[in-house]
Structure 1
């Protein structure tokens, strides 16, 4: 700006000098155009030339400056300008977080062409479209997002997998995650999504394969991971228990023992896990193995589930089994589950009177439909059909608990 001002002042001074104090014998210039001629001093011609160049330069600057202003104004009106686009993106992301899907998609898409990193705009807009139920639009926006740069593939795949998981398209979700797994095998978000889809598909073996990485990267809390590992081994035991039922009886126990050995040592001491394993032994007619396991576990820690199971097992020596359970009664005299178990063991030993007494005592501690049903069956076998029918009715009534209180017709006399 200072240079331009200096040039203008210099030209103005030069013009005054040429007009009012021209040098003598400075020469002249004659210009002929057809029959017309133009004559001026050489100094004045130089002044006209310089001024003409200056005018042309200023006109060109003005022309290009006007073009730049028009272009910027057009961009501003179309996209709101870069700064305004950033603000619109921020506002759209707030709408996205708040669940205002329609406004989020509108703002994010409008600002996307003007921001430096449009990937986040297209991903959030795609999820907004998905939440609005427009799956085709969501897929289209994910395709556009994938074209924004070479680093977009992982983000696009994770966004698509989340949508597929939310739609319960578990097979498609798994395929999406496995395609990208090779490029980011340690990505915490990918591992967490794999965990979710494996749980949904009940693919416990595959989930077991990533449990160590879930723990290493602290993707979930220690409590959640402990419960997840318990679930994995519990479900794997149930699965092997079902599978070995297709084998010959002599081949079942080795398979079940091998499955139990694969359970971590600290979980083999967990009574819930012991309960699962013992029940798989029982359904495969390995009651003696189960009885020994349950008896040893209960000698260390009391567990209602194992106590209940103990009354269902056909041990090698039913009399000894009853004696063992009666010894527990000294420490747990008011345990309804133990009393039910004792009643069943008395039935196993054909001690009908004691069985009846144990069932009645169990019902005095806690009214339970299973105990009512056992007592009703015993009374029916003893010929007490009326009382048996009453107990069956009570068992049925308790099993139907949860019915709302509604008016009923009065009994006709």
Structure 2
């Protein structure tokens, strides 16, 4: 395609040149120059050619005169770019003082001054020189004001001045002119300053921009919505806020978990149970299962029957087994709780399961075994090794039901190949 454009362009130039030649040949024009007794006579074409030659000669002389200065500028440019590259590498490698020195030197050249000063401020902040970082950002604001403002807000938030950081970015947030990094910083600063409602404003621009990956956006969205739910002062405010949320945000597992905990706190136990049960029917979340098992005593026996029915389709869900075991403990069904908890420990040990098993042994008047279980819960929470109970000293807990069983979505066991 480009070759055809070149061919068509050359043809057009040739046609125009031919037409111009015929037009000039008919009347080449006449130029007379008389200066101090000297007279020059020539055609217009000759005059134009002489002017072009004179312009080329002058341009050549000017370039020749400027060449030494251009060579110095090229050397400075090359040095600045090399120092910028070296400074960025040093910053990534953690050589912060060296990075700051190289980046400040690179900032002497105008074309890289803004990025070099921003990176130098980051290096100074990582080196613990917050005052010098602020001074560098003041200089960077003359070159890249928006980026310097975002970086200043980040520095404020890191040093415990989150409310000042949010205030710094608020004007651009109100006008919707923040960049993606600015929206992220505004959300983080708002969360840190206890204003999650303001952080919610950053979610839609970030979602539309697509500049952060789905996992990072989902994590930020969950934190923001959860914080906003936990900040509601009463049950009416909780219901009103959740009813205004889009469906996607209202169905976030973290948001549902926060809503259930707040609803229980405000005496809305049935609403909390209904929300969690609906969510668990859509998708089993370990956090929601755990919350379901630790909710109040309202309708506990019926909740236990529902949870036991879920085990038919999720027989290897350690969180569900632990939750069912803990509900059995709360209504003193020691013999029923024990196999659930032992199976959960065989699949995926957890401090909650060990603690609940200790409650079982305590209810069965076996304080020594209960103490062992409690010690194991503390040890597992600290990342230390646990000790086996006396009756299983030679191996892990095994109640002959700890085999992993695979079932489909209808609860039908899958045959082993």
TM-score by length of 2: 0.60
In the TM superposition, what is the alpha-carbon distance from 1:334 to its structure 2 partner? Answer: 4.4
CA distance in 2, matches of 1:334, 1:126: 51
Give the aligned partner of residue 381 of structure 1: 363
Summarize the Cα distance change of 1:262–1:388 in structure 2 as closer, same or farther, 3 Å threshold.
Answer: same
Unaligned runs of 5+ in 1: 1-68, 245-251, 405-413
Whether the 8 Å contact between 1:101 and 1:131 is mirrored in structure 2 is no
- Confirm whether residue 264 of structure 1 aligns to residue 255 of structure 2: no
For residues 3-402 of structure 1, what are the structure 2 equivalents within 5 Å? 81-99=72-90, 100-109=99-108, 112=109, 139=134, 153-154=145-146, 157-158=149-150, 160-161=152-153, 163-164=155-156, 169-178=161-170, 185-201=177-193, 203-240=195-232, 243-244=233-234, 252=235, 254-314=236-296, 316-402=298-384
Whether the 8 Å contact between 1:288 and 1:314 is mirrored in structure 2 is no
Q: How large is the Cα RMSD of the aligned pairs? A: 4.2
Determine helix, strand or coil for the equivalent of 1:220.
coil
CA distance in 2, matches of 1:334, 1:123: 51
Whether the 8 Å contact between 1:191 and 1:210 is mirrored in structure 2 is yes
Determine helix, strand or coil for the equivalent of 2:327.
helix
Bigger CA radius of gyration: 1
CA distance in 2, matches of 1:334, 1:402: 24
Aligned residues: 315
In the TM superposition, what is the alpha-carbon distance from 1:118 to its structure 2 partner? Answer: 6.3
TM-score by length of 1: 0.60
CA distance in 1, matches of 2:146, 2:266: 47
Whether the 8 Å contact between 1:288 and 1:315 is mirrored in structure 2 is no
Whether the 8 Å contact between 1:108 and 1:124 is mirrored in structure 2 is no
CA distance in 2, matches of 1:400, 1:123: 41
Which structure has more RCO (C-alpha within 8 Å, separation ≥ 6)? 2
CA distance in 1, matches of 2:270, 2:259: 13
Whether the 8 Å contact between 1:96 and 1:128 is mirrored in structure 2 is no
CA distance in 1, matches of 2:138, 2:289: 59
CA distance in 2, matches of 1:380, 1:270: 37
Whether the 8 Å contact between 1:126 and 1:138 is mirrored in structure 2 is yes
